[in-house]
Amino acid sequence: MSRFLAAAAASSSASPPPPSVSKHKQTLRFKDAHTGVDVLLVGTMHYNPASIELAAASVRDLSSANALRAIVLETCPTRWAKTRRMQPRGSFLRMLLDNEFQAAVEARDGGDDDGGDGGGGDRDVVHSIPIVLGDQKIEDLGASAKATLRATWEDFSSPFDGGWARLWRDFAAAYAREVDSGPEDAGLSLRDLATDAPLALGLPVSFFRYPLAWSVKSPKVIVPFAAFAYTLSELPNWLSAVPRGVALGASALGGVGVQNLPSAEESAVSILFLVLDVLEVVFLSSLFLKALLATRNDVLSRSIRETCVDAANARLAAGSGDTAGAGVGTVVAVLGAAHLNGVQRRLMEDASDGRASGAWWTERGDEYERAPVVAE
């Protein structure tokens, strides 16, 4: 890819320093392995007041020091346009559904919402600090989830053909890559979240705002999901409402009336619900680790890497600096905390040809669509 040539040439002139990570609260600061550009990953609990302030403060501090290069948001064009349209700055919904993404953009602008897409304010200015919408398109998430569930069912339904072994191997590998904080807790750990008092105090706000936001913005998604979750949670209660040792009714016994239920049938029902419980754990774990984390971490990492490459190339084209990443500034990525460790691992990988190693960079090749930059 031609856009890598300038950064690759500069990278060859000096050996990059050993990878290092600095942590503060739910943020990870390190250098992108390919370009040497500083990256700050801000891990958030969506809609949590503490996370909102952390995202805004991180952007504000870098901006005031003239060290901010770009902001990458964990959202896509469809979701961002809907957010800006439905809750512009100063609106009731903007206050009710305060969030880290809009807060970060407003912090970049010193508190002004420029409304470049018509979502708020009356200025139409292309800002020197770009906003990159770096997440997987919401239109593609459904297809990804269906493919993951299909593959999980194929493995689950073939225990004697190595299916269960593949499930366990895939789960273990995905957990180690996407969730585990790594040696010496170089990534974000559970302790980093659990010991933050303001974050814990904001939990009720997150639990209130998150489902409310989905209900307001995507009612077609939240209603069937809520119905499905409610059905799963109530199934045990419905079963326990049937008197023990009693059949379901006359229709089940040829019109004879209520009879004692044989213990074998009781056992079959118990086994059925045990299987359903196992399926729920297996499918939800697979959906979370693969579709919601691994696939999206690939996309987010590519978006951040591309932003770093653009920043390094622009610096070199201007004739400033002879070391990749020097004087470029910091690329800030505002993400859900669950994404931080997987994205960090990808960005700290590099290969001799100047591209990142692993499928997250190579598998989609020329079909990869670059993350859009918002002209605002």
Looking at residue 74, its pLDDT comes to 96
Looking at residue 246, its pLDDT comes to 47
Sign of CA dihedral 341, 136, 56, 216: negative
Q: From CA 54, how far away is CA 44, in angstroms rounded?
A: 8
Q: Is the pLDDT of residue 354 over 70?
A: no
Q: Is the pLDDT of residue 327 over 80?
A: no
Q: From CA 46, how far away is CA 193, in angstroms rounded?
A: 13
Amino acid type, 78: T
pLDDT (tens digit, 9 = 90+) per residue, 179-198? 988 777 788 888 888 899 99
Query: For residue 42, what are the β-bridge partners?
Result: 27, 334
Mean pLDDT, the chain, rounded, equals 77
The answer to whether the beta carbons of residues 199 and 51 sit under 8 Å apart is yes
354-375 mean pLDDT: 50
Looking at residue 282, its pLDDT comes to 87
Q: Among 57, 49, 149, which Cα is nearest to 98's? A: 49
pLDDT (tens digit, 9 = 90+) per residue, 67-83? 999 999 999 999 999 99
Looking at residue 172, its pLDDT comes to 92
Looking at residue 123, its pLDDT comes to 32
Count CA atoms closer than 13 A to 317's CA, side-chain side.
10
Looking at residue 308, its pLDDT comes to 92
pLDDT band at 233 (very low <50, low <70, confident <90, very high): low
Q: From CA 42, how far away is CA 36, in angstroms rounded?
A: 18
The answer to whether the beta carbons of residues 368 and 76 sit under 8 Å apart is no
111 or 39, higher pLDDT: 39
Q: Among 158, 165, 177, 152, which Cα is nearest to 281's? A: 152
pLDDT (tens digit, 9 = 90+) per residue, 154-172? 998 898 999 999 999 999 9
pLDDT (tens digit, 9 = 90+) per residue, 268-287? 767 777 777 787 788 888 88
Q: From CA 347, how far away is CA 342, in angstroms rounded?
A: 9
Q: Is the pLDDT of residue 328 over 50?
A: yes
The token pair at 185 is 């807790």
Residues 6+ apart with CB under 8 A from 333: 39, 40, 41, 42, 71, 72, 73, 74, 134, 300, 304, 343
Q: From CA 274, how far away is CA 23, in angstroms rounded?
A: 42
- Domain boundary assignment for the chain: 2-139+297-374
Question: What distances in angstroms separate CA 174 from CA 44, 148, 281, 294, 374, one per listed residue?
Answer: 21, 13, 15, 7, 32
Residue 320 DSSP one-character state: -
Q: From CA 46, how far away is CA 44, in angstroms rounded?
A: 6
The token pair at 265 is 């049938």
Our CA angle for 162, 149, 83, nearest 5°, is 150
Query: For residue 41, what are the β-bridge partners?
Result: 28, 333
pLDDT band at 92 (very low <50, low <70, confident <90, very high): very high
Q: From CA 354, how far away is CA 16, in angstroms rounded?
A: 12
